[in-house]
Chain A
Amino acid sequence: MGEGIFQIVLFVIILIAAAYPVGLYMARVYEDDNFLRRGRLRFLGSAERGFYRLVGSRAEREQTWQQYGANVLVFSLFFVFLVYAILRLQGHLFLNPQHFKGVPSHISLNTAVSFLTNTNWQYYAGESTMSFLSQMGALAVQNFVSAAVGMAVLIAVIRGFTRRSSKNLGNFWRDLYRSLVYILLPIAIIGAVVLISVGVPQTFHSYAQATTIQGAHQTIARGPVASQVAIKHLGTNGGGFYNSNSAVPFEAPGSFGGYFELFLELLIPFSTLFMFGRLIRSMRNALAIFAAMFALFATGVGVNYVAEQHGSAVLRSSGVNITQGNGQTGGNMADKEVRYGLAETAVFTTGTSMTSTGAVIAGHDAMTPAGGAVPLVNIFLGEVIFGGVGSGLYGMIFILVLAVFVAGLMVGRTPEYLGKKIEAREVKIAALGALFPGVLILTLAAISMVTKSGLASIYNPGAHGFSEALYAYTSQAGNNGSAFAGYGATSFSAYLGAIDMFFGRFVPLIAALALGGSLAAKRTVPASAGTFKTDGATFSVLLIGMILLTAGLMVFPALTLGPIVEGLMH
């Protein structure tokens, strides 16, 4: 296991070393008014102003949180219609060399909402359902846009802390454009080039036909894969070109493929914290949050790796050789790939479930109970441990506000964060943002349990069936997108899922903007002896407690009905 731990630690060091400068760069992109106005790249600044003229909005025009939120919603609804239309009509449109028919309406709606909300729940097998036009023109576009919307909203919320006595949170078009063109696009291009160089297909040719060595026929799915996979990870989206996602060598070739895609996936969520530290002019405060997230991340990786190396009950009693060494990884290799082995799979699985990406390099269903509990718990914790691009940190800010409030109550000090007093209004909004997903999950899971169509969506009998439903609505509300395979073969569950994803995304998003608006309007009070310190290890521990408490209290009762009953029955 030493070699496995070594590669994981080395990966994390490289990741943090890269995330720091990227974070500082992101801070500049958003807050430097003269960014690209001078110098050789001036033409990019001109293109940016051209875009603002095109959408009829001046970057200088600041928006209140209500205007900002309305802009996000109207813009997003247009995209739902467009994606839905492309999927329905793909059979009549171009770039469809495999001649796939239009996607059925319930799947189209579910998919449109799924990609819009950065969920990427996949109701379909990509390589046998979607035309190239749908993959590129509908789904990959959303990979960019949904990520950029999350980043824009986050920056608006952060302005709540950095501005004083201000009505405004910035301009949505400006934050969106800068996220897309100055942050996501350049990294996606580099990512796609690297992926192409190691073997990820990028072509408009139809699927390749091969006659194998022993004379059988083999169809090899390919297409514009690399350009989509790069942003699928960078934007913490996760919807793969192939059904088995990044387990497929065409989507992630070699041992390098998995680590590189995980790097892309964690880069912005990690960088975001350094950006936050720069923007609030206190790296120590950002590091306290980082430490809390990192502790939970490291725990997840450790538990998964050790449990999978130990192997499953079936494999241990079967007698086959699961001992590491002598030319093999050993352990639980069921639904895993040889080139990844267990260490890479552990860090990828933990990272993908924490960041709400939902991409996989191994089958989560086949993991050992303890190993499989890691992605499960991560999803239930609400995607705030690093979390999705943008949405992770604004989700964490809800928890943070609650933590500051609770700490204030406990020690009798004024609850404040970064000089902003946390009062009743902020606590109410934060509670709404933090608890709403849980209410949504439990309501929809309950509906799916008491209706005929809901029950018909379940694949496995008994407690595992309930776990499937609970997992499905949790994953969709949290905009993660991974699934217990099998659930949801009905149009009922597709529509219910679409509702789940839509409200799971936009209610916290609007709450975050409201919180930002409320904070921005406040004056900044100077720190005094009575101020609770938010930049040390104590606060990190408090944050961890708060994460576990808010998520735990919400879902623990439901968990007892599913996975826990299941575990006790074996």
Chain B
Amino acid sequence: MMRLIGGSAVAVVVMTLFFGGLYPLVMTGFASVAFPSQAQGSLIKRDGVTIGSRLAAQAFTSPKYFMERPSATSPAYNAAGTTFENYGPTSPALAKLVADNAKAVLKLEGPYNPGLTIHDVPVDAVVTSASGIDPDISPAYAQLQAHRVAAVRHLPLATVQKLILQNTDGRWLGVFGEAGVNVLELNLALDKETGK
């Protein structure tokens, strides 16, 4: 029995040092050499300033930018406090959230999309994402917003649509998952196009 206790104590220490120390240290060393940008969180810099990460949504309110999906985090798009909304499928709170968000989308996009009705609003525009920092919107939601962004920026619609296409991540290998438009990268590309 004493041998069992002693052996267990030794094993616990050895395993903690190996799997809790050596393994993550070696992986971190490898990451910093082989994939320095990814290892640090895929941060994006502009004019020397870190403006966000390509893997996290951030708040856009100005009409010259594409908008992100709704977020349940507090404050919205909190990349250090991710969470779901957790409204049940029949919950009145969900009904209100959807109605409010749809109304906001119609108000914002309506003037630039004549004849726009709630039936044209893609579902991802009105419900929260799972992470609260979903960096993507559906291509459908991007197309809806393209008219506004083109008009506000005095750009041809075709240019904006070209930028959407350039910043769309398709399905992996063309098969797995779904296509999404990276909003932060798209907005950066727009700023670059119009000289900020």
Cβ B20 vs Cβ A138 within 8 A:
yes
Cβ A363 vs Cβ B14 within 8 A:
no
Cβ A244 vs Cβ B130 within 8 A:
yes
* Partner pick for A220 among B35, B80, B134, CB 8 A cutoff: B80
Give the Cβ gap from B116 to chain A, nearest Cβ, in Å: 11
Give the CA-CA distance A367 to B127 in the complex, in Å.
12
B residues less than 8 Å from A193 (CB atoms): 27, 30
Counting CB contacts under 8 A, is B115 at the interface?
no
Cβ A337 vs Cβ B98 within 8 A:
no
Binary per-residue interface labels of chain A (544-570) against chain B in the complex, 1 for a CB within 8 Å, 0 otherwise: 000000000000000000000000001
Cβ B27 vs Cβ A192 within 8 A:
yes
Binary per-residue interface labels of chain A (340-368) against chain B in the complex, 1 for a CB within 8 Å, 0 otherwise: 11011000000000000000111101111
Residue among B10, B43, B83 having the largest count of chain A Cβ atoms under 10 Å: B83
Cβ B19 vs Cβ A336 within 8 A:
no
* Partner pick for B95 among A82, A226, A318, A485, CB 8 A cutoff: A318
Counting CB contacts under 8 A, is B163 at the interface?
no
Residue of B nearest to A459 (CB): B86
Q: Do A339 and B169 form a contact, CB below 8 Å, given A203-B40, A244-B131?
A: yes
Counting CB contacts under 8 A, is A410 at the interface?
no
Q: Do A243 and B38 form a contact, CB below 8 Å, given A210-B52, A331-B123?
A: no
A residues less than 8 Å from B109 (CB atoms): none
Which B16-65 residues have C-beta < 8 A from chain A?
Answer: 16, 19-21, 23-24, 27-28, 30-32, 34-35, 38-43, 46, 49-56, 58-62, 65
B residues less than 8 Å from A198 (CB atoms): 38
Which B156-196 residues have C-beta < 8 A from chain A?
Answer: 169, 171-172, 175-180, 184, 187-188, 191
Residue of A nearest to B44 (CB): A210
Counting CB contacts under 8 A, is B79 at the interface?
yes
Counting CB contacts under 8 A, is A218 at the interface?
yes
B residues less than 8 Å from A243 (CB atoms): 81-83
Cβ B139 vs Cβ A318 within 8 A:
no
Other than the given A199-B55, A330-B123, A338-B129, 4 more pairs (CB < 8 A) read A201-B40, A203-B41, A214-B61, A319-B102
21 intermolecular pairs with C-beta atoms under 8 Å apart: A78-B11, A196-B31, A201-B39, A210-B58, A212-B51, A221-B82, A222-B41, A227-B24, A247-B129, A255-B178, A256-B172, A320-B122, A326-B140, A327-B142, A329-B124, A335-B130, A336-B130, A337-B134, A339-B177, A339-B180, A366-B85
